[in-house]
Amino acid sequence: MLTEKIHEFAPPRYSWLLLAGVAIANFTVYSGARFINRTRHHYILSLPLDDRIGLCTPFITIYVLAYLQWLTSYILAAHESREVCYRIMGGDIIAKLICFIIFLIVPTTLHRPEITGRNVFDRFTRFIYAVDYPDNLLPSIHCLESWICLRGSFMMTKVPGWYRPFTFIFTVLVFASTLLVKQHLLLDIPTAILTAEIGLALFRLLPL
């Protein structure tokens, strides 16, 4: 029974190349831009309101669970139809390429607070800080991915009725988490939405 359920959830073969492309684009954009920009000056594009947003380490759970949202949403898109799968994942890859260009034009960073607490959320946030450098911030790929998941939910007809409102609420929480765990600044969010929309629009213009 479990094997059958796993087989049903496994993405169809026509989506494998695109799923791999999304993962490769994500890794290449992050690592490539970080390598190229390693000795360059990085800008801090903070607004006055950014300084008033406090650290709330319990939101690190939402920040990390976003990866599960992306995986689940993209597999659901793959099961929806070939057209929806291509629109969502193709738009995602184009948006990532746009991110790469922006990362090279405007390298960004931020000052993250020192976390001295000893609870599980504080420890986990310190771990994330240790493995994820504060660069490649604008636009936020975290927010971009969750926004594309939200947009994709409105392209799907095979998902249950609760899926779209749940995706909307979770996407808003992901946006908040990037600020509340001090991984991003306010400007990183609208630029992520805009970049995602441009990626989705450009894919629809491709002669496929």
How confident is the model over 53-96, as pLDDT tens digits? 999 999 999 999 999 999 999 999 999 999 999 999 999 999 99
Query: What pLDDT score does 57 carry?
Result: 96
Domain boundaries of the chain, sorted by first residue: 14-205
141-179 per-position pLDDT tens digit: 999 999 999 999 999 999 999 999 999 999 999 999 999
Global pTM reads: 0.92
Query: What pLDDT score does 11 carry?
Result: 79
155-165 per-position pLDDT tens digit: 999 999 999 99
CB 18 within 8 A of CB 85: yes
Query: What pLDDT score does 2 carry?
Result: 41
Three-class HEC string of the chain: CHHHHHHHHCCCHHHHHHHHHHHHHHHHHHHHHHHHCCCCCCECCCCHHHHHCCCCHHHHHHHHHHHHHHHHHHHHHHHHCHHHHHHHHHHHHHHHHHHHHHHHHCCEECCCCCCCCCCHHHHHHHHHHHHCCCECCCCCHHHHHHHHHHHHHCCCCCCCCCHHHHHHHHHHHHHHHHHHCCCCCCCHHHHHHHHHHHHHHHHHHCCC
Residue 143 neighbours by CB distance under 10 Å: 25
What are the backbone dihedrals phi and psi of residue 109, each rounded to the nearest 5 degrees, phi first?
-150, -175
Instruction: Say whether pLDDT at 186 is over 90.
Output: yes
Both tokens of residue 137? 């911030």
Query: What pLDDT score does 4 carry?
Result: 46
Tell me how far apart the alpha carbons of residues 171 and 142 are, in angstroms, rounded to a whole number: 10
Instruction: Say whether pLDDT at 5 is over 70.
Output: no
Query: What pLDDT score does 56 carry?
Result: 96
Tell me how far apart the alpha carbons of residues 135 and 188 are, in angstroms, rounded to a whole number: 11
